[in-house]
Amino acid sequence: MNTIDIINKTKRKEPLTREEIEYLVNGYTSGEIPDYQMSAWLMAVCLNGLTDEETLALTLAMRDSGDILDLSGINGITVDKHSTGGVGDKTTLIIGPAAAACGVYVPKMSGRGLGHTGGTIDKLESINGYRTELDFDEFLNIVNQTGFSVISQSGSLCPADKKIYALRNATGTVDSIPLICASIMSKKLAVNADCILLDVKWGTGAFMKTREEAEKLAAIMEKTAKAAGKKCRAVVTDMNEPLGCAIGNTVEIREAVDILQGRSKGRLYRICIELTADMLELAGKGTHEECAEMAKKAISSGRALEIFRKTIELHGGDSRICDDTDLLPKARYSHVICASRDVEIISINAEELGMASLMLGAGRVCKSDDIDRSAGIILEFEAGDKISMDAPLMTLYSNVCSDFHEAAMRAYKAIKFRNLTERTLT
């Protein structure tokens, strides 16, 4: 085969065979195909797209470039969940224990945060002693004991994706739905759970900015998973506003524990119940309505919290935080932003609040950056709330930033208000 011929076929919108795609992926991963040729092909894909069959072939070739996990040692139905990322998304920490409390097994590999979106691994590592890098046998043992475990992504999983994604990032070829699908689904298929739930987000705080884009991505990812022999459901959720009131790492652990303790039943709780019900329904536990009731009882009974506690303990973490979140690391500095007048909250720009959190040290600009796990933002409102003058709107936390002026201005400007006195928008 000839790489130039493959590039030209995609330029002319001529479908590639499975063998041609495997040749391209394997050749690039091994170093036989240079960056400049792969870049040309990626740009052709961005401009002309791929068929569903090509997308599946690309996904499977990337999956097969590394290890595929053998989860047969887990004693029941396994369900994996993936979110396309957002601001304040700590759903894995809630729905994983809740689903496990209802009898399914949730073995999960997660990544670290980059930019304004947070990473589940960073959040868990804000718990003192929590280990995210475990050998596979220990991982399986924890899943069998508690039904739930989250560890760092294995370096031997999908090496083709790592190399191709780095090239996409450097060549402006990230925003292609077939390439996004192949990147996500190759890793999900390599984890090899029986069922996969995909939470595809759209809005200001998500990669997909419109619902239409998110629906297209959700459809092709679900179709690809099913064609690969997996039970899969893709749901589209709103990320125009942060998911919950906490944005950061330690602060999001606190909020997740509040939910698992049954102390909070706002928008985050409702979304987690729906996602847990989706996982349970995929695993054959009943209708969606029956599964939603099971999820609610898992939390109200305290069973989900006990699973989270035991999982933390087995990972070497301080499980006492399940009773007292004050044991989590605290930031040295804080800054409260108050309302300057009586206002109603019209909308919240999730991306801008995520960027403000990044400025406080809660995220990374580059993968090699260190993060301040105690940094972040806690909101005191949701859209639609009315706030009195001088009442707190949000609190900013940081260990590395004692001058909050720039971050506070960005966070404040992320909120659209209605002045209740003058009836004008600000």
Active site residues: 82, 161, 168, 183, 187
Give the Cα separation of 397 and 411 in Å (integer). Answer: 12
Q: Which residues pair with 392 in a beta bridge?
A: 338
CA distance to 32, 311, 317, 320, per residue, from 101 (Å): 48, 12, 20, 19
Give the Cα separation of 351 and 353 in Å (integer). Answer: 5
Q: Two tokens at 230?
A: 């997996």
DSSP 249: S
243 in Cβ contact with 353 (< 8 Å): no
Give the Cα separation of 194 and 279 in Å (integer). Answer: 11
Give the Cα separation of 142 and 75 in Å (integer). Answer: 12
* Angle between helical axes of 159-171 and 35-48 (0-180°, round to 10): 80
**DSSP 3-state assignment of 71?**
coil
102 in Cβ contact with 298 (< 8 Å): yes
- Give CA torsion, residues 266, 269, 274, 280, to 10 deg: -160
Give the Cα separation of 307 and 304 in Å (integer). Answer: 5
DSSP assignment of 79-123, as one string?
EEEEE---SS--THHHHHHHHHHTT-BEEEEE---BTTB--HHHH
203 in Cβ contact with 238 (< 8 Å): yes
Looking up tokens 């004991």 gives 145
Whole-angstrom Cα Rg for the chain: 22
Question: Nearest Cα to 238, choosing from 80, 83, 418?
Answer: 83
**360 in the Ramachandran plot: left (φ > 0), alpha (ψ -120 to 50) or beta?**
alpha
